[in-house]
Amino acid sequence: MALIPLNTFKTKTSLLGESTATNVYVAPVGTTAIILMAQVSNVSTSSETVSLVHYRNRPILQDAQGNGAQSVGGTYLVQNFQIPPADAATLLSGKLIIEQFDSIKCYASTSGTLQLTLSVLETANQ
């Protein structure tokens, strides 16, 4: 019997900080997550920029053919994307797989002006 539910839907929200990437979501031990939606809204009266990063928190070894090795580090999904005042944008055009321990980080051009909402499906690794 699994200790982790097979499928769990979650909503994660975050008021984004300036210049320093905020850990918005980290896939827990024993799960793989699918980011179904990532939307950011600008609650200020001026244009702001947002950056969204997939961060690999553990290295992936190459397969038997020598392919697929990945080191620890971040990959920008969106970098300095401008959001007009009182507007919103979808940051992902499709779904994104997040393996256990990997994270989604996000930051804004100004603290407290952008709000991020993630819809996440967590699936137990069995």
83-107 confidence digits (pLDDT tens): 999 999 999 999 999 999 999 999 9
Q: Is the confidence at residue 37, as pLDDT, over 70?
A: yes
Mind listing the domains of the chain with CATH numbers? 7-60+70-124 (2.60.120.1330)
Cα separations in angstroms, 82 against 11, 29, 49, 72: 24, 34, 4, 28
pTM over 0.75: yes
Candidates 6, 17, 34; CA nearest to 111 is: 17
**pLDDT band, residue 68 (cuts 50/70/90):** low
User: Looking at the predicted structure, is the pLDDT value of residue 2 above 60?
Assistant: no
Residue 23 confidence (pLDDT) above 60:
yes
**Contact status, residue 108 vs residue 48, Cβ threshold 8 Å:** yes
